[in-house]
Amino acid sequence: MALASGRTPIHLPGTTLEGGGQLLRNALALSSLTHLPLEITEIRGGRPKGKRGLKGQHLVALEWLGEACGARVEGGEKGSSRLIFIPGGRGVEGRDGSKVGGKKGQKWWTEKAVEGRKIRACKIDIGSPGSIGLVLQAVLPFIIFSLGSTTNFSEGFQVVDDTPLVLTITGGTNVSFSPSYDYIAQVLVPTLLNHLHLPPIVVSLGSRGWTHGRTDIGSVTLTITPLAPGKFLPAFSLMNRGKLQHIAITILASPASTRTLLHFKVSAALTTIFPLTPHSIVLSEDSNHPKRLYLLLVATTTANHKLGSDYLYDHKITDVDAAISRLAKKVVGGLEWEVRGGGCVDEYMQDQLVIFQALTHGRCVIDGGRKGRRKHGVEGEGMGDGDGEDEHDAGKAEAEVEREPPRAPSMHTQTARWVAHEILDVNFDAEGTCKGVGFQISERFGEEELRADLQKVEL
């Protein structure tokens, strides 16, 4: 398929690698930013029959990004297996957020003054307890990298400013197989701020949204400051994790006796596996239904890296004690696996950072862990007799781990990297390193290369 401009949409088979929503979300985010047209076929083709195609939460992200970048969309219906997404196909965006050449006067954000400061506000309603975290994955890069400018497709980008956006998303805050509100607040946002040095992001919980037990729709509000016009996201390096400093426990369960028992079992397991690392409960909250059982553990290191492990129990609960034991074993075991690898991020964070690596200006590397296992405990410290030899031995064990090959990235991470390569032509090596494209706020993507080509023609 060729467009009137002569450009052919980038074709992405939706069965590639993970074959699910990850491919769709990352592709739409990058297309919206770069204005490169897309064609995605066999959407979510890696899922079982009956679960393929666009779902409600995918449509919400698609429609929001389409409005934000003035895209022409074909195949944007529930259950659709083929999608064409052409940013700018409906016209251009004015300085006030309205569409020029699109729907008359339509805005995707409103502007108002709060305590004497100008802000933009926007709401995304999933319309069900669909995952707020997955919708956020799709729209967050656009807000950070594009909200500081508006798009004029005939004259390039017009600078606006870096006014914050207050984004409220209604849907599910605790949904199986997706980032929970708690993981976003305790792991994702701190990592983006502390190690990618993004402008301020503040996240708050309005109410819980669940698919387990009775259906409840909740809300999360984020105040997101975009990168300023003319700026790049500088290259970042997440290496040298440091030693474990603290483990935070979050428990959502009902009734109180269930929370108490789960806390007891988790605390006992952590004391056994991480005897040198203090742990404490940071949140113990009533989930308001006995079928809602959620646990999150977050390990913080001396270098301020966050490693998370969580699980929303999704089996039928016939024996509460057995369910609690199973939940504690799974989540504590997951954290142990993450810590033993020595990486600076957990496997769920690694795939969420790929899009930021690809857009940065310079070389980025993220240590996602090694295949080797530490011989002297999982905390990065010697655990011996205090005779002075253990520190030396632990150093040797650390070196042995460093010589081990990196852990294979998850299928989600592989998919995110593949999408970035197909759209931005960036490459990732086995160590998780890539050189970003240097996406500049308020500049048309690829404009520098275009200027260089024109200069060659003139010469």
User: Which bin fits 337, alpha (ψ -120 to 50), beta or left (φ > 0)?
Assistant: alpha
Around Cβ 207, how many Cβ atoms within 10 Å? 11
* Percent of the chain topping pLDDT 90: 67
Determine the average pLDDT of the residues in 369-381.
Answer: 59
pLDDT of 49 reads 82
Q: Which residue has the tokens 């029959």?
A: 49
pLDDT tens profile 313-338: 999 999 999 999 999 999 999 999 99
Write out the two tokens for 28.
Answer: 């739409």
Q: How much helix, strand and coil, in percent to the nearest 5, is found in the chain? A: 35, 25, 40
Average pLDDT, the chain: 84
Query: Residue 395: pLDDT above 70?
Result: no
Q: Are 24 and 40 in contact (CB under 8 A)?
A: yes
pLDDT digits (tens, 9 = 90+) for 144-170: 998 655 443 333 333 356 788 999 999
pLDDT at residue 396 above 70?
no
Q: What is the pLDDT of residues 92-148, one digit of tens each?
A: 333 334 333 334 334 567 877 777 777 889 999 999 999 999 999 999 999 999 865
Q: What is the pLDDT of residue 115?
A: 73
Which of the two residues, 88 and 93, has the higher pLDDT score? 88
**Token pair recorded at residue 449:** 């290369």
- Dump pLDDT digits (tens) for 45-77: 888 887 888 998 899 999 999 998 999 999 999
Helix H, strand E, coil C: the string for 284-343 is EEECCCCCCCEEEEEEEECCCCEEEEEEECCCCCCCHHHHHHHHHHHHHHHHHHHHHHCC
What is d(CA 378, CA 73) in angstroms, rounded to the nearest whole number? 50
Q: What is the pLDDT of residues 235-251, one digit of tens each?
A: 999 999 999 999 999 99
